[in-house]
């Protein structure tokens, strides 16, 4: 399988990832970058081809949600660069996407005067190519490629995408939130066990405090500012955090009976709220239940904004778009209110580097608005994270749910990805990658064979696994683990690809001398019984990165030595564990540029060392029924080398 980020590789913004699986190529998201106003704002589509023949090279485009950093380049790609294939998105995304694209076009063309940009007709023509993708519905792009959407939280209509072609599969998360909020539920996915999970990592080194504490802090800061006669500017995108914070302010104003006016920049949000009412089934259970009596998106205290209000005296609260202070109403109002120290700016979300919002959050007191003007920042700046992205805990939980073979990190800063990579490899024992934009990542995948198992073979295998778990439980003085995976030894009767299906049968069901059979690969190297020794440390400061000096990670891979011996063609007298170590040593000697050494420790167990800290070692077996295992350990600084070592280990074990 091949993965190439055209955007969001070690960066936030311009999300666009190409994935090739089973000979099919999918483009996940097609966004723009908020920090650029030149050709860099769109992904570099010339990486695919310079002849603009994209339709023959890309089988499908999938948009995960309507934020511009995930869909902003779509009309440009389809109408101006000539992609004519299918575009998949959920119904709410299809409804809201053209509204945001048209608003983006108006600001870029009508206010800034840019030429050569996509037109309103381009947006309409682009939307005609969209195929709706409903939650948990399997859609076939062609006879081989299937897509399925899972709920992602984040914003209305956001979805994580599972794609499969033949025996290869991938999950692309887009943006997601594992914590339910006031109007949306938490992201969830089945244990689909994809070959690759491509996940965002925006807040990969952050663990947020409780939502209730953040909401209390937010409302208290707003109230203190208006009490002293100041104005509160809250930049936010028109959909998502806007509705979340509006519901919070609405309930707070109603509870305290406040009379201070609250505004929302009009037009775009009025349309957006119409779609929230239309797609109420995409919200959380509390909103659905209250919708019977009153629509929570019909706000009583929040009124439409008029530009003439900006110079009015007295306190007020304004929710203004967009959320990063790079264009639009929020930037215009910031220019007016920033010099007054009585006023307050509350930044509730992430700001891409290069935007005015990012400059203000960094502490700059004089900010260039454009090439002609600058503003003195005396306003009280507060950064309260209400971002609908998963934090470090959420990312780890999603990986646990999906149970992938490999993890790829995108949509995050390089500095934040490094520690998260080691944490993922230590806890789950799977390789983790963070390719840059334009970097080709090739990952070898196992060729699975789907087969129908006979009842007799299943019962025999299940009974054997139950007995093994009970023996382990008795030895460890604890109840047995639930059975989620088990090794199966049977006869694989290959089908013909048509009506005769491939079947896995008990040997007693056939005369083996007369039936041509092939033994199946029954490798059980992936198991939920990994014993983890990775430290439970993660930085807890909001937006603060901590790089430990000498953190050592380790993971343990349990495998069935009988199955591995068969795969490697070993005879009964060969030490399987030593043969595995020898194979790892040989492959690393070929693949790695670092020095590879093989030795034994004081107890006589084998060790393969790579670089300064990466070690693959055998573990002592305390019980005759216990499966053998290999431990992999590494220092935080060599997580790239550890990724390569884990990939080699998985190749050897199958």
Tokens of 99: 């509204």
Cα separation, 162 vs 88, in Å, equals 12
- Burial status of residue 562 (CB atoms within 10 A of its CB: 0-12, 13-18, 19 or more): middle
Neighbours of 149 (CB within 10 A): 24
How far from 205 is each of 38, 362, 509, 612, CA to CA, in Å?
31, 18, 54, 25
| Residues 653/564, Cβ–Cβ less than 8 Å | yes
Cα separation, 551 vs 549, in Å, equals 6
Neighbours of 603 (CB within 10 A): 8
- Burial status of residue 369 (CB atoms within 10 A of its CB: 0-12, 13-18, 19 or more): middle
Cα separation, 229 vs 225, in Å, equals 7
Q: Residue 417: which of 505, 596, 547 has the closest Cα?
A: 547
Spatial CB neighbours of 200, under 8 Å, sequence gap ≥ 6? 8, 173, 174, 175, 176, 389, 390, 395, 409, 410, 411, 412
Torsion of the alpha carbons at 186, 190, 196 and 202, rounded to the nearest 10: 10
Taking 3-state DSSP, the helix, strand and coil percentages for the chain, each rounded to the nearest 5, stand at 35, 20, 45
- Cis bond upstream, residue 563 (ω within 30): no
Q: Is 572 a catalytic residue?
A: no
Tokens of 42: 């769109």
How far from 163 is each of 117, 166, 187, 534, CA to CA, in Å?
32, 10, 17, 31
Neighbours of 306 (CB within 10 A): 11
Catalytic residue among 200, 244, 250, 639: 200
Torsion of the alpha carbons at 133, 134, 140 and 142, rounded to the nearest 10: -10
Strands 344-347 and 380-383: what pairing?
parallel
Cα separation, 424 vs 634, in Å, equals 13
Catalytic (active-site) positions: 200
């Amino acid at each position: 399988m091949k993965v190439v980020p055209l955007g969001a590789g070690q960066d936030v913004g311009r999300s666009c990832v190409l994935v090739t699986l089973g000979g099919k190529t999918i483009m996940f998201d097609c966004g723009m970058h908020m920090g650029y106003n030149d050709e860099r704002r769109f992904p570099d589509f010339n990486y695919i081809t310079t002849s603009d023949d994209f339709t023959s090279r890309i089988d499908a485009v999938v948009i995960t949600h309507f934020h511009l950093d995930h869909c902003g380049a779509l009309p440009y790609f389809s109408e101006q660069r000539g992609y004519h294939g299918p575009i998949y998105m959920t119904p709410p995304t299809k409804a809201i996407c053209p509204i945001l694209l048209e608003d983006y076009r108006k600001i870029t063309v009508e206010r800034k005067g840019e030429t050569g940009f996509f037109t309103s007709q381009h947006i309409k023509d682009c939307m005609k190519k969209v195929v709706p993708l409903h939650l948990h519905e399997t859609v076939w792009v062609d006879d081989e490629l299937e897509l399925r959407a899972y709920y992602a939280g984040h914003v209305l209509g956001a979805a994580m995408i599972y794609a499969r072609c033949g025996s290869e599969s991938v999950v692309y998360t887009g943006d997601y939130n594992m914590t339910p909020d006031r109007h949306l539920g938490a992201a969830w996915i089945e244990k689909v066990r994809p070959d690759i999970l491509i996940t965002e990592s925006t807040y990969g080194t952050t663990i947020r405090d409780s939502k209730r504490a953040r909401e209390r802090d937010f409302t208290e800061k707003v109230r203190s500012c208006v009490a002293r006669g100041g104005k509160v500017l809250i930049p936010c995108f028109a959909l998502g955090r806007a509705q979340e914070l509006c519901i919070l302010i609405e309930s707070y104003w109603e509870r305290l009976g406040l009379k201070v006016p609250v505004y929302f920049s009009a037009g775009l949000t009025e349309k957006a709220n119409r779609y929230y009412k239309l797609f109420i089934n995409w919200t959380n259970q509390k909103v659905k239940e209250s919708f019977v009596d009153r629509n929570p998106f019909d706000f009583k205290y929040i009124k439409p904004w008029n530009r003439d209000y900006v110079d009015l005296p007295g306190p007020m609260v304004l929710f203004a778009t967009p959320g990063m202070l790079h264009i639009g109403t929020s930037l215009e109002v910031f220019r007016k209110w920033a010099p007054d120290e009585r006023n307050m700016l509350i930044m509730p979300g992430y700001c891409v580097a290069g935007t005015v919002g990012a400059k203000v959050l960094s502490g700059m007191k004089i900010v260039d608005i454009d090439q002609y003007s600058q503003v003195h920042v005396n306003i009280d700046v507060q950064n309260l994270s209400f971002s609908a992205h998963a934090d470090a805990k959420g990312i780890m939980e999603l990986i646990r749910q999906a149970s992938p073979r490999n993890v790829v990190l995108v949509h995050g800063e390089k500095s934040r990805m490094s520690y998260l990579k080691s944490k993922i490899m230590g806890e789950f024992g799977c390789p983790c990658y963070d390719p840059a934009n334009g970097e080709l990542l090739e990952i070898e995948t196992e060729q699975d064979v789907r087969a129908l198992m006979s009842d007799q073979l299943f019962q025999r295998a299940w009974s054997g696994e139950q007995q093994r778990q009970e023996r382990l439980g008795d030895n460890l003085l604890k109840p047995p683990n639930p059975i989620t995976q088990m090794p199966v030894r049977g006869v694989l009767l290959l089908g013909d690809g048509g009506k005769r299906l491939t079947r896995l049968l008990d040997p007693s069901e056939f005369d083996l001398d007369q039936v041509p059979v092939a033994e199946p690969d029954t490798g059980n190297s992936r198991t939920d019984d990994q014993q983890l020794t990775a430290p439970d440390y993660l930085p807890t400061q909001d937006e603060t990165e901590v790089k430990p000096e000498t953190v050592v990670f380790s993971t343990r891979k349990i495998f069935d030595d009988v199955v591995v011996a068969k795969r490697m063609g070993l005879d009964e007298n060969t030490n399987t564990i030593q043969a595995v170590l020898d194979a790892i040593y040989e492959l690393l000697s070929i693949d790695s540029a670092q020095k590879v050494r093989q030795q034994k420790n004081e107890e006589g167990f084998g060790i393969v060392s790579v670089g300064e800290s990466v070690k693959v070692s055998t573990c002592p077996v305390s019980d005759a029924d216990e499966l053998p295992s290999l431990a992999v350990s590494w220092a935080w600084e060599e997580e790239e080398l550890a990724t390569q070592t884990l990939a080699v280990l998985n190749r050897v074990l199958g």
